[in-house]
Amino acid sequence: MTRGDRWYDIDAWTVRERGLDLERLPQSESVFALSNGHVGWRGNLDEGEPHGLPGSYLNGVHELHPLPYAEAGYGYPESGQTVIDVTNGKVIRLLVDDEPFDLRYGRLVHHERTLDLRRGVLTRICEWTSPAGSTVRVRSTRLVSLTQRAVAAVAYEVEPVDRRTRVVVQSELVSNESLPGPDGDPRAARALRSPLEHEEDFAQGGRLRLVHRTRHSGLRVAVAADHVVDGPGRTVTDSESDVDTARLTVTSVLEPGERLRVEKFVAHGWSGVRSRPAMSDQVEAALAAAAHSGWQGLLDEQRDHLDAFWSRADVEVDGDEEIQQAVRFALFHVLQAGACAERRAIPAKGLTGSGYDGHAFWDTEVFVLPLLICTVPQAAAEALRWRQSTLPVARERAAQLGLRGAAFPWRTVQGPEGSAYWPAGTAAFHVNAGIADAVVRYVQATGDERFERDTGVELLVETARLWRSLGHHDDRGVFHIDGVTGPDEYSAVADDNTYTNLMARANLLAAADVCKRHPDRAAGLDVDEEESASWRDAAEAVHLPYNEELGVHEQHAGFTRHQRWDFAGTRADHYPLMLNFPYFDLYRKQVIKQADLVLAMHTRADWFEERHDEEQIARNFAYYEPLTVRDSSLSACVQAVMAARTGHLDLAYAYTAEAALMDLADLEHNTRDGLHIASLAGAWTALVAGFGGMRWDDDGLRFAPRLPPGLRRLAFAIGHRDRCLHVEITSERTTYRLRSGPPLTLRHHGKELTVGVDAPAEGRVPVPAPRRSPEQPPHRRPPAALTKRSDDSRPCTVCASDRPGLALPMIPAYPSFPRCRAHGVHDGKRHEPAAAKDGR
């Protein structure tokens, strides 16, 4: 994809698709997905077909399936969990003079879909001529309510263009839809056929209802719909239902200039304990609330909710319109993933697709929650309360593994471990420290003492107990954590992974501190002074491997002694490596799937900055860059932060673009399975923590801003301790303004500043010290790493801009990078994108 052949118009507040490419439907269905964290609707066409992947999801609704093993072993999970497609309430079929409105036939005159990021709606305008020559215009608007968690709605209008036309609209609820077969990608969902068993169907007037129960997980799902029909006097309706379908049929004859409008309100509910009558009553009540608001009321509520969100979360990027659009797209989808999750997981794909079987990973706490903590803190708190609700299962898992405390799962829908591959699942204990870290960061940012007492203490204590029992002191008193897998999934079952050890260290200290602040709560968990002291002892003695000869921290003990991967002998089409080489070979070589030691320098910046100078941090970054192939979407944002931190601003800019455009440009060619929610959150991290240099800890907020040459201005708002702080950065100066709350003291490049509502503060932006740019593996270089900024003022071939320094001579690897920072390829040269890469 190039800017000259872009899929979506670039606009600051919308994502608009002009025309319709059926081959790209799976990808656009993810991009145009609507959700509120409880209900998720993929962006399927209104009529249901054609589709890439039909998708209607309820957070937590899943089916169980056995996990096959060639050789089973003690402690292996016995059952897997897969998110299922629940009853689809989106479907509105249309017949035009007895011919189905199907875009695969007839002539498509016009088709446009727009995701409005400020209104929170998906709109569609379509003009179509049937094979028999009847032309109709269809308009639809769809929303999933951010204020009424059970409710989604569609307004659907049809009008004839040039002659009298008979139209039939069929508004349906459909269960057990046919799903596409497996495509061989191990990250795609396991297709479960007809997982819903019928319990109730109902159709009367404009009211429809279906109730089903999953076969194995025993979850009851209820979906109901009501309608408001507005058409000419000769409009008639009829309704019917059976085991998997409930349908309202609306028939009318329309003259040119007349319209038939159907407003459809859909309510969703599920439970593992409520009875069938109770579930029917639940969705009927949700419909009553939606009817009370009405269509316009739902629109107004949605806009008001988003206005409030953007006032405290917006990021403004001057100088790159595509990044501006992408970061707002990212913020919108992260909000959708967590807004109404209410003690449910935030899956890796949100509710936009079934990729990874709908599982939540460590992504949530390490990548998504930092954004939510600063923008929608109540959503972050609910995600952590969900983790707390799964503690009984996590304690059982730890006991099964011979450990104390709680062992949270590598991947799960509702709590039990769902990974059948233990080196990357069970051994990835760092997920536990990620949860603890999110607890600490949430309390630091909000000051929510009630949350700390009711939720934080228990999570911190049980994860600390895990680390104390997992690790051991050697005969010199050094504390080691052996046989674990860190964030980099190309290294497994290693000793003393630096990221894991540093995160465990912070977890142990935080648990000791919180028990001191809440002694009665600690006593209720049987924590005594001896146990708390043992956590501190282990934390202070934890081993952090370092290669003195190279002068770098090791990713894990002995990593730098491994043979380097043969990058020169690896073809571009052999990436991602995990799909082309055995893990055994990857595990024993110096090759990194995703940032690991570099991630440690980001998440534990306090430890590195207290003990090491800038040169040590830069040396670490430079060592691991040539080894990191980014076969995971989680890597680019972390590398962006640390590239900015070490003064490689153009490199940071390229990585930021990669994280931000992961799904809009489908860079990994698997957006069809759902959006990469962590990478989207990472786009915010790259801008705010990277170019904004923002960090927070017990000492408050710190900023070390610096912009790449391609950006003129960066501005963002964050919440911190009942305040709303606005930060505006240019190449020379940063201005801090407090929009609400008491005065705030922060640090700007180490200098203390105090800002009040009527007293902004400013600080100069220093120029970073020049350093040699680090190398990247062949075929895996980010776009700008292959270029130098051009002094050439030859005009761009698209807009004839001759602004010096804005054009880039070659952008061979990135399919959507600018000519003149606005139009892609300079001086007429078009370059093909590098080979596709996959991975989370």
Q: Are 348 and 840 in contact (CB under 8 A)?
A: yes
Q: Which fold would CATH assign to domain 11-311?
A: Beta-galactosidase; Chain A, domain 5 (2.70.98)
Nearest to 345 by CA among 575, 546, 57: 57
Read off φ and ψ for residue 68, nearest 5 degrees: -80, 140
**Can you give the pLDDT at residue 804?**
32
User: Which amino acid would we find at residue 286?
Assistant: A
Whole-angstrom Cα distance, residue 221 to residue 271? Answer: 7
Are the CB atoms for 383 and 346 separated by under 8 Å?
yes
**Which among 264, 263, 267 has a CA at the least distance from the CA of 280?**
267
Distance CA 565, CA 555 (A): 15
Say how far apart CA 748 and CA 736 lie, in whole Å. Answer: 10
* Number of neighbouring beta carbons within 10 Å of residue 105: 12
What single-letter DSSP state applies at residue 366?
I
Neighbours of 813 (CB within 10 A): 24
Per-residue exposure over 704-716, b if at least 16 CB sit within 10 Å of its own CB, e if not: bbbbbebbeebbb
Q: Find all residues with CB under 8 Å of 238, minimum gap 6, and list them.
A: 248, 249, 251
Six token digits for residue 207: 């009211």
pLDDT at 812: 30
| pLDDT computed for residue 179 by the predictor | 77
CB under 8 Å to 346, separation ≥6 — which residues? 37, 337, 338, 360, 364, 368, 383, 677
End-to-end CA distance of the chain: 21
- Chain centre to alpha carbon of residue 410: 17
Tell me the one-letter amino acid at 597: L
Residue pair 189/673 in contact (Cβ under 8 Å)? The answer is yes
Beta-carbon contacts of 476 under 8 Å, excluding residues fewer than 6 positions away, are: none
Q: Is the peptide bond before 812 cis (omega within 30 degrees of 0)?
A: no
DSSP H or E run through 28:
helix 25-31
> Cα angle at 304 between 298 and 309, to 5 degrees?
125
**Residue 193: Cβ within 10 Å count:** 7
Helices assigned H by DSSP within 253-376:
276-313, 321-338, 363, 369-375
If one counts every other C-beta atom within 10 angstroms of the C-beta of residue 582, the result is 9
Q: Which two tokens stand for residue 660?
A: 């931000």
Mapped onto helix, strand or coil, the DSSP state of residue 207 is strand
707-763 residue pLDDT tens: 999 899 999 999 999 999 999 999 999 999 999 999 999 999 999 999 999 999 999
Please answer whether residues 629 and 688 qualify as being in contact, where contact means their C-beta atoms are separated by less than 8 angstroms. Answer: no
- Which are the catalytic amino acids? 489
Predicted local confidence at residue 193, as pLDDT: 77
Residue 766 DSSP label = P
Instruction: Using 70 as the pLDDT threshold, list the residues of the chain that sit under it.
Output: 1-6, 181-192, 783-840
Rg, the chain, Cα only: 27
Domain locations in the chain as residue ranges = 11-311, 787-840
447: left (phi over 0), alpha (psi -120 to 50) or beta: left
Using DSSP's 3-state secondary structure scheme, residue 806 falls into coil
Residue with tokens 């990974």: 419
CA distance 535 to 828: 62
Our measurement of the distance from residue 165's CA atom to the centroid of its chain's CA atoms, rounded to an integer in Å, reads 44
Query: Which tokens in the block code for residue 213?
Result: 């129960």
Question: What would you measure as the largest C-alpha separation in the chain, in angstroms?
Answer: 90
* CB of 26 closer than 8 Å to CB of 44: no
Which DSSP letter does residue 127 get? E
Cis peptide upstream of residue 782 (ω within 30 degrees of 0): no
